[in-house]
């Protein structure tokens, strides 16, 4: 299994959770905009941190990737596949939080 295939599974699960939020919770547009803005800000920070620290760790020789399982594209020394995990986390974790903290209408 390549890293790209593994990423597809992980991102598919994250996308399903994000798509379930409006179906299950039926939030108003303002709530969706706020959640989307929070996810985008989180994603931006995570992508920058991933780029900086993955490149630093690879340059220091802490780990390496076997070339046959990579797509080939890189951001510095870090393979592009490494950036799927922060993307998945920025989507999946807030969506799960919203879905798992659903309150009844009268219980706010």
SS3 74: strand
Give residue 107's pLDDT band: very low, low, confident or very high (50, 70, 90): very low
- 13-17's contacts with Cβ under 8 Å and 24+ in sequence apart are 13/88, 13/92, 14/87, 14/88, 14/89, 14/91, 14/92, 14/95, 15/91, 17/91, 17/92, 17/95, 17/96, 17/99
State the average pLDDT over residues 37-42.
92
**Residue 64 pLDDT > 90, yes or no?**
no
SS3 78: strand
The better pLDDT of the pair 59, 104 is held by 59
* Angle at the Cα of 43 from the Cα atoms of 42 and 45, rounded to 5 degrees: 65
C-alpha to C-alpha distance for 4 and 6, rounded to whole angstroms: 5
The better pLDDT of the pair 103, 67 is held by 67
Q: In sequence order, what are the beta bridge partners of 67?
A: none
pTM score over 0.85: no
């Amino acid at each position: 299994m390549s890293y790209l295939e593994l990423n597809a599974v992980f991102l598919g699960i994250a996308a399903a959770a994000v798509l379930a939020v409006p179906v299950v919770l039926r939030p108003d547009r303002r709530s969706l905009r706020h959640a989307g803005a929070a996810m985008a800000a989180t994603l931006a920070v995570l992508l920058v941190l991933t780029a900086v620290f993955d490149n630093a760790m690879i340059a220091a020789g802490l780990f390496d990737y076997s070339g046959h399982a990579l797509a080939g594209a890189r951001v510095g020394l870090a393979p592009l596949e490494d950036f799927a995990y922060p993307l998945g986390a920025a989507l999946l974790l807030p969506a799960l939080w919203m879905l798992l903290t659903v309150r009844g209408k009268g219980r706010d």
